[in-house]
Chain A
Amino acid sequence: MVGEKKRQKKAEKSLMTFGAEVIKDISEVRPPRLKVPSRSTSNIFYDEKNRYFVLGNKYGIRSAANIKQVKKIAQTICVADFCKELIETNKFATLREMYYTAEGWDSGPFSDQGESDVVLEDLEAMFGVKREDLGLVPEEDGAAVYGELVVKEDNAVIDATKAGRGGYTIPPTIDDVELLKCKAKRVIAIETMGMYHRFVQERAWKTFDALVVGLKGQAARATRRFLKRVHDEFGMPVYLFADGDPFGFHIGMVIISGSAKLAYINHELAVPDAKYIGVTASDIINYKLPTDKLRELDIARLKQLQKDPRYNTEFWQGEIKRMLELGKKAEQQAFAKYGLPYVVKEYLPAKLKEAEGKEFIGLK
């Protein structure tokens, strides 16, 4: 919590500095200018060293002397002022709420929420801070967590093993949550909620000393932030378990290397050390899993991934090639062919052994 306050203070300071610069320009009869980092694809680069996407150094200049830009600058300052109010009053608002609040602003309403979202992204990129640090949060909750983790939300202390079968729900304001205690040794993030519940039922969290995270498909910002925090704060390895198809691969990859769209903020979100354990094309072969034929869309997507710098490793290139040759894909649930507990009793121990080099059978 203390750390979080510090983040917000830093964001607030950036906003105040921004205001002061604008005031200085106006006092010296100079049109204020905004330097906004470009988020166009030509300015997004894969950082080999950090292993995630980053923005290049291209930026656009917006000038208050330009008739087409002066309104946008007014809107940006209004959003900045709105954020400062949120930080000062220790409140959060959703993007949708900000969009509606803007109806009453002197800069006039936004034409749609897309427009206000972009202004917020500008601010994030200008100051290198996350929207959550500016008091703005996404609509949707993050994923569910089950395992031996104790967190503190405001005054509530929550044990993630005592939050019901659904587990602890990661809130959009995850940075505001204090991670008090964690007995788990590893994190297993799972694409589908069906498999998540299988893991909970089979007490996999206990068997493997793991925090089991149900991603509900593509991971939300809050989930990715959570994974990054537990990895950084407790030094836990993060394992990713998704469907054996290009979309499952990419759910894992976005957690590992971040998305291009959020390149300006990936240093807060990416977990480059996270490891994709399956389902792989090799799994399909080795475990003789029931499969579906690759659709055209899957093939096209696989070919895209082949060229994507994030997949430029021996492991990924091999798996992609194999899946293309196989022409087949498989879901996580395919392991049920061998009985419901099989995935937890046989498959997972094998995978973790592969990753950590130690035996997991009999640990329960």
Chain B
Amino acid sequence: MKTIASELFKEFREHSVSEFFRRNAAMLGYTGKIRSLTTVIHEGVTNSIDAAEESGVLPNIFVAIKRANDSPEHFKAVIEDNASGIPEEYIPDVFGKMLAGTKLHRHMQQRGQQGIGISGGVMFAQMTSGKPARVTTSVGNGEIVQAEVMIDVDKNEGKILDKEKSNGDWRGTRVELEVKDVTYIRSRYGPFNYLRMTAIANPHAQIGFVEPDGTLTVFERATDKVPERPKSMPIHPWGIMSDDLLVLAKHTKSRTIAGFLVAELSRVTKGKVEEIRKLSGVDMNKRPSGLTWEDAEKIVSTFKQIKFMAPPTEGLRQIGAADIESGMRQILKPEFVCASTRPPKVYRGGLPFIVEAGVAFGGSAGKSVEGEAEGEGAETGGLDLIRFANRAPLIFDQGGCAITAAVRSIDWRRYGVDIATAPVTLFVNVVSAYVPYTSAGKQSIADEPEVFAEIRSAIMDVARELRHYLYRKIRTKEKQQRAGIFEQYLPVIARKAAHLAGTEVPDVGKLIEKVAGVKVGGGKETPEEG
């Protein structure tokens, strides 16, 4: 069977997947010693959560990062789930074939969208440590398969090096990857924060994590409801990128590019194909397999100039305010939490999206000092923004992100928040099948005016609630301070007056109770009662 990827790579004029991988390392998230490790974990965990949801079970994810030896940059990463398991014959494809995932041609709102998935992790492990991936999986039939998988870089195929079967009552998949040239630290960009953010955005998942020093952290599940899976639907031309179009072209059963565009994309009619032809100059009667990278780029840029019917808004799968609150409450143990899910909106004239925001105050909310343990009395250093797209944490490229810009555009003092010191975690999730990423790295949201405005509104929704909470809190504190003043001075008055008059000290409790509730008049006189 001819693979799509092998043809695709011809288009890139590359000779091997390893070369492709190296060339596109940044786009794929394998850049930098901390980020590479986070990406390996991300690919594994994303696969695991998706698989669990697809099989209708609540995800139980276990992640461990262990030292492989004494080298400070050599680790073993383990990701285990309780999903449906992988049938033996699919193991080579799932782990050993790049760009062959099941996701791309079923375009939907999904976490990853890298189209490379766990096979990228296998590739990275293989390139850095030279070691195969160890996969343990069972579909729950009493048979557990253990296999060592490598990628044949010339053929872009998975190769099983060693396979063992045993009996056991277990279902799920465990992947073990040995990676080199990476660093583990508990920074914003490291796996710990990634998993913590994932846990907040996926309150139905339980995630256990063992760090290299043996510390076990369990991010407990906050809800028992498996979220609805997003619907698979044809991709809208406004939301497609050149590489997506190429992959789709390799996959289609249509005989011409014209037929392919109508069949595989949403809202593309024969009339529109004619417009595309005129504007792009691409021969619409070519076979789709003959589509070149340059053709794809031309067509995609033409799409932007043409008016299409907007895609349907159905199928957007937000987390929902209640679950965001549960997730934040569970992980951050805050004093106050509030979330808001905005109604669907469109940008670029028709691409639907939803913005959700949540805010948590107190507890372990707020930026923790770099490298410090979270939660346990760690100092907090002001507002911590956590960004998500379709529940997937956006960790890098924060500076260029529309979410960051929206946060900065708000005058937080008006909400009673000093962003430099307040223990506040701000959660923003942009939901769309067409998330407008700034770049192929897919770590930040582009500044689309409608998206920016909606992010801003969502943040202001929750900031208002936070302001009310903080105001109430100050009021309560003031009331306590007030009562404290009466409790301090009224007994002194009673005692000294009794001494003056030469009488017994009267009970002052009732008077304290009475006046501590009396509203303070700013003026001179308090009317006498009774």
Q: Which of A29, A74, A107 contacts B514 (CB 8 A)?
A: A29
Q: Check B482 for interface membership: any CB of A closer than 8 A.
A: yes
- Name A25's closest neighbour in chain B (CB-CB): B511
Give Cα A53–Cα B525 distance, bound, in whole angstroms: 27
Give Cα A28–Cα B506 distance, bound, in whole angstroms: 10
Q: Which of A19, A31, A67 contacts B498 (CB 8 A)?
A: A19
Task: Report yes or no: B485 in contact with A31, Cβ–Cβ below 8 A.
Answer: no
Residues of chain B lying within 8 A (CB to CB) of residue A84: 499-500
Task: Report yes or no: A27 in contact with B506, Cβ–Cβ below 8 A.
Answer: yes
Most buried by B among A27, A29, A81, A106: A29
Count residues of A near B (Cβ-Cβ below 8 Å): 34
Q: Check A77 for interface membership: any CB of B closer than 8 A.
A: yes
B469 to chain A, nearest CB (A): 25
Q: Check A15 for interface membership: any CB of B closer than 8 A.
A: yes
> Which label, helix, strand, loop or mixed, suits the secondary structure of the B interface?
helix
Q: Check A352 for interface membership: any CB of B closer than 8 A.
A: no
Give Cα A61–Cα B524 distance, bound, in whole angstroms: 7
Residues of chain A lying within 8 A (CB to CB) of residue B524: 60-61
Task: Report yes or no: A15 in contact with B500, Cβ–Cβ below 8 A.
Answer: yes
Task: Report yes or no: B499 in contact with A19, Cβ–Cβ below 8 A.
Answer: yes
Q: Check A184 for interface membership: any CB of B closer than 8 A.
A: no
Q: Check A230 for interface membership: any CB of B closer than 8 A.
A: no
Give Cα A22–Cα B491 distance, bound, in whole angstroms: 12
Q: Check B493 for interface membership: any CB of A closer than 8 A.
A: yes
Residues of chain A lying within 8 A (CB to CB) of residue B494: 22-23, 26
Produce 1/0 per residue, B507-518, CB < 8 A to A: 010110011001
Known: A22-B493, A29-B511, A78-B492. A66 touches B520 (CB 8 A): yes
B256 to chain A, nearest CB (A): 84
Task: Report yes or no: A78 in contact with B496, Cβ–Cβ below 8 A.
Answer: yes
Q: Check B20 for interface membership: any CB of A closer than 8 A.
A: no
Q: Check B167 for interface membership: any CB of A closer than 8 A.
A: no
Task: Report yes or no: A61 in contact with B500, Cβ–Cβ below 8 A.
Answer: no
Residues of chain B lying within 8 A (CB to CB) of residue A68: 520
Residues of chain B lying within 8 A (CB to CB) of residue A30: 511, 528-530
Give Cα A84–Cα B482 distance, bound, in whole angstroms: 31
Q: Which of B491, B501, B518, B521 contacts A19 (CB 8 A)?
A: B501
Produce 1/0 per residue, B293-312, CB < 8 A to A: 00000000000000000000
Q: Check A16 for interface membership: any CB of B closer than 8 A.
A: yes
Give Cα A26–Cα B528 distance, bound, in whole angstroms: 13
Task: Report yes or no: B482 in contact with A77, Cβ–Cβ below 8 A.
Answer: no
Residues of chain A lying within 8 A (CB to CB) of residue B530: 28-30
Q: Which of B493, B499, B520 contacts A73 (CB 8 A)?
A: B493
Q: Check B265 for interface membership: any CB of A closer than 8 A.
A: no
A-B residue pairs in contact (CB < 8 Å), sample of 19: A18-B500, A22-B497, A23-B498, A29-B510, A29-B530, A30-B528, A31-B514, A31-B528, A61-B524, A61-B525, A64-B493, A65-B515, A66-B520, A70-B489, A74-B493, A77-B497, A77-B500, A80-B500, A107-B492
The 9 residue pairs across chains A and B that have the minimum distance between CB atoms: A19-B500, A19-B501, A22-B497, A20-B501, A63-B526, A65-B515, A74-B489, A106-B492, A77-B496
